[in-house]
């Protein structure tokens, strides 16, 4: 009888513990000048459906006891595979008319990290970033070298055409026309167009049932990109950061400002060094970006399962689901 | 009479102010397994002389009222031009037998930053990093694209042979022999050799008479480098960081660990978010690197002119000079 009581007690305790340990994830599909007037209802519905699919894909991993890393990769792969977002298929075009992809990932448990910059034939860049983290002695590989490593690791290389879509080709043409026009006239209104078309990133942060945090980010960079420009997405500490002691962050926006502020690390540093709550820290860092003249946003989750999704642009594609029951997808400001 | 008194008073006040405002710089020429037994007295004297020359070159800029940025570039160019250090001339070889160079710079006054990764024909990479900061809308450019930008900016491109030295070619051969041997025997002692030969960086941080901070870092990367590996030197927040409100930092060491910790930003964050004194903050961050298994060091200067030069390797080539009169060069631990 005592034995049965003890067993029941252990069972109840374990269940309570499992139920009490929060888990969940937040993801983004890019931030920028996303206005209600510029999205048709059909297109908006497509975005919401894909964000929901990615959110559920990642959450399912966590729910069945999978790792934060696995959840982050699962969520990001769904967004990379969709032509709606500027990552993987549907990436924006460089000035040369090709797609070049960057990605990074960080494991909050070990502070291991992996990043790739400027690859052209990797279907899911986030999986190569993970391979760099887990299978190489390096953190960051770039260009042809990164693809050589991918081949060694048995990655299938896809033709660059796989990533290319008509929509993005038109954006490149518009960007080039605009650039040419700018040289002859300074009267054109500022870069409203550029901010719509040029940036975009996907990313995901997760907290798993074991209390491990992870963050990942993937992007096609910026339309009409030149000179081998590298943005914040593959920069650990700027676009991506995770540490079990604090939080996991993935950023999206005007990469140059995000590098200068070191956005992802700056948020975690406020938690680490002065115990600032996540929401407050994330908002403060986005204010810093704004003060320098940049825009964009982040998704973040801390070790207690609190989340933050601040942005100072007109919109940010985003989704979240937590074990507490809170879940949603949103695009515009104020949603 | 009153007028003369007033003039004298103003003159004395300004002089006192100028005299009281501290300025100075700290630089490094790489950290690693530098042991007394492995350096001949003649070679050691060469290192000390070149560190002194770079220190004086940078300090002269500050003394005549020049900017921290100019001082950082002046100091680093002298180290890049010397075959003794792994940056510019005398850079280590990649696995392909070429030299590939990375550099970055940050202006503490504006948080503007510039970085280049994987260039092969830029005599002084730190000057191209500065051009990226000042003449482009970007922070980081890589590979051929960075050199295309350099050409547009009127940089003279040098043949890769300019950087190559016999000493570094031998290091590559030894690294390759070692790599081949490793595949057949696991009994070889750990990477003592690798740590001596593989890493190395130069960097400089400065505080000028106007209270502006700047930091810069330049490197040839690691011997036998593969896969387009990028280390911490061109990563803003890892190898280089500067902010007038806190401090300027340049790092050197096992780059992968320095990226994961976000070394330069981590030191500044401790000053920013909990008012930690510079020496304490820099030491704490190097301890973090050590805890993960990495080694190396930093040079740092804060807005008040305090300096820190911690490292957890056997040695670090370093030099400093402050308006307070303190000046020196050192190589080994405990000097």
**pLDDT greater than 80 at residue B33:** no
Residue with tokens 């796989």: A162
Q: What is the mean pLDDT of residues A104-117?
A: 98
- Check if the beta carbon of residue A213 is closer than 8 Å to that of residue A69: no
Boundaries of every domain in chain A = 22-332
User: Residue A183's pLDDT is what?
Assistant: 64
Instruction: From chain B, pick out residues whose CB is under 8 angstroms from the CB of A111.
Output: 260-261, 292
Least CB–CB distance from A226: residue in B145, B260, B266: B145
| Contact call for residues A308 and A298 (beta carbons, < 8 A) | yes
Instruction: Decide which of B252 and B19 is more confident.
Output: B252
Residue A5 pLDDT > 70: no
Scanning every residue of chain A, which has its alpha carbon at the shortest distance from the alpha carbon of B276?
A273
pLDDT digits (tens, 9 = 90+) for A155-198: 999 999 999 999 899 989 988 888 888 765 444 444 444 554 55
As a whole number of angstroms, the distance between CA B45 and CA B60 comes to 22
Using CA coordinates, name the residue in chain B closest to A147.
B227
**Is there a contact between B142 and A113 if contact means CB atoms under 8 Å apart?**
no
Write the burial class of residue B96 (CB in 10 Å: 0-12 exposed, 13-18 middle, 19+ buried).
exposed
pLDDT score of A47? 95
Most distant CA pair in chain A: distance in Å? 90
Q: Hey, how many other C-beta atoms are within 10 angstroms of the C-beta on A210?
A: 13
Mean pLDDT value of segment B203-228: 95
pLDDT above 90 for B36: no
- A201: annotated active-site residue: yes
pLDDT tens column, B166-180: 989 998 998 888 888
Burial profile B206-220: b = 16 or more Cβ within 10 angstroms, e = fewer: bbbbebbbbbbbbbb
Confidence of residue A7 (pLDDT cuts 50, 70, 90): low
The string of pLDDT tens digits covering residues B254-283 is: 999 999 999 999 999 999 999 999 999 999
Question: What is the per-residue pLDDT for B188?
Answer: 41
- Smallest Cβ–Cβ distance between A238 and the set B144, B237, B256 belongs to B237
Q: What's the confidence (pLDDT) of residue A19?
A: 54
Whether B140 and A229 lie within 8 Å, measured CB to CB? yes
How close A139 gets to chain B, by Cα (Å)?
6
Nearby residues of B69 by Cβ (< 8 Å), 6 or more positions away:
B105, B107, B130, B206, B212, B214
CATH number of the domain at B22-332, out of 3.40.50.20, 3.40.50.2000, 3.60.20.30, 3.40.50.300? 3.60.20.30
**Predicted structure pTM score:** 0.92
With an 8 Å Cβ cutoff, the interface of chain B facing chain A consists of 106, 111-113, 117-118, 136-146, 148-149, 226-231, 235-238, 241, 255-256, 259-262, 265-266, 269-270, 272-274, 276, 292
Q: How far is CA B116 from CA B122, B148, B201, B213, in A?
A: 10, 12, 14, 21
d(CA A73, CA A217): 9
Distance CA A263, CA A203 (A): 14
* Model pLDDT, residue A27: 98
pLDDT at B193: 45
* Model confidence pLDDT, tens digit, residues B15-32: 445 457 999 999 999 987
Crossing angle of helices B263-274/A263-274, nearest 10°? 50
The CA distance from A62 to A24, in Å, is 7
**Mean pLDDT of all residues belonging to chain A:** 90
Put the strands of the sheet holding A307-308 in their side by side order.
A240-242, A247-253, A296-302, A307-308
Q: Please give the Cα distance from B67 to B133 (Å, whole number).
A: 15
**CA dihedral sign of residues A215, A218, A224, A230:** positive
Residue pair B239/B104 in contact by the 8 Å Cβ criterion:
yes
According to the model, what pLDDT value does residue B306 have? 98
What confidence score (pLDDT) does residue B5 get? 54
Mean pLDDT along residues B227-235:
96
**Contacts A145 to B, Cβ<8 Å:** 226-229
| Contact indicator for B77, B124 with CB cutoff of 8 Å | yes
Q: Which of A228, A230, A237 sits opposite B237 (nearest CB)?
A: A237
Q: What is the pLDDT of residues B103-133, one digit of tens each?
A: 999 999 999 999 999 999 999 999 999 999 9
How many A/B residue pairs have CB atoms within 8 Å?
A: 144
């Amino acid at each position: 009888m005592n034995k049965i009581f003890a067993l029941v007690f252990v069972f109840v305790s374990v269940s309570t513990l499992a139920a009490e340990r929060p888990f969940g994830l937040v993801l983004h599909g890019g931030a920028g000048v996303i206005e209600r007037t510029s999205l048709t209802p059909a297109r908006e519905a497509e975005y919401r459906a894909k964000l929901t699919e990615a959110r559920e894909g990642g959450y399912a991993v966590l729910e069945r006891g999978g790792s934060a890393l696995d959840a982050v990769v699962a969520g990001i792969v769904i967004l990379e595979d969709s032509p709606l977002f500027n990552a993987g298929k549907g990436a924006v075009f460089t000035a040369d008319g090709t797609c070049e992809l960057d990605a990074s990932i960080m494991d909050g448990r070990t502070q291991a990290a992996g990043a790739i910059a400027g690859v052209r034939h990797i279907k899911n860049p986030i999986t190569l970033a993970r391979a760099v983290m887990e299978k190489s002695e390096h953190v960051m590989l770039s260009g042809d070298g990164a693809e050589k490593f991918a081949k060694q690791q048995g990655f299938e290389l896809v033709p660059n055409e796989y990533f290319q879509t008509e929509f993005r080709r038109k954006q490149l043409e518009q960007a080039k026309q605009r650039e040419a026009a700018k040289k002859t006239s300074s009267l054109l209104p500022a870069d409203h167009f550029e901010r719509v078309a040029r940036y975009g990133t996907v990313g995901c942060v997760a907290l798993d049932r074991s209390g491990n945090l992870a963050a990942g980010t993937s992007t096609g960079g910026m339309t009409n990109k030149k000179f081998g420009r590298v943005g914040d997405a593959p920069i650990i500490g700027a676009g991506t950061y995770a540490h079990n002691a604090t939080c996991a962050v993935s950023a999206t926006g005007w990469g140059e400002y995000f590098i200068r502020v070191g956005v992802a690390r700056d948020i975690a540093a406020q938690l680490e060094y002065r115990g600032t709550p996540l929401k407050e820290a994330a908002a403060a860092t986005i204010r810093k970006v704004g003060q320098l003249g940049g825009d964009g946003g982040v998704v973040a989750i801390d070790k207690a399962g609190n989340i933050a999704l601040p942005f100072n642009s007109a919109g940010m594609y985003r989704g979240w689901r937590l074990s507490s029951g809170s879940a949603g997808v949103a695009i515009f400001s104020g949603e």
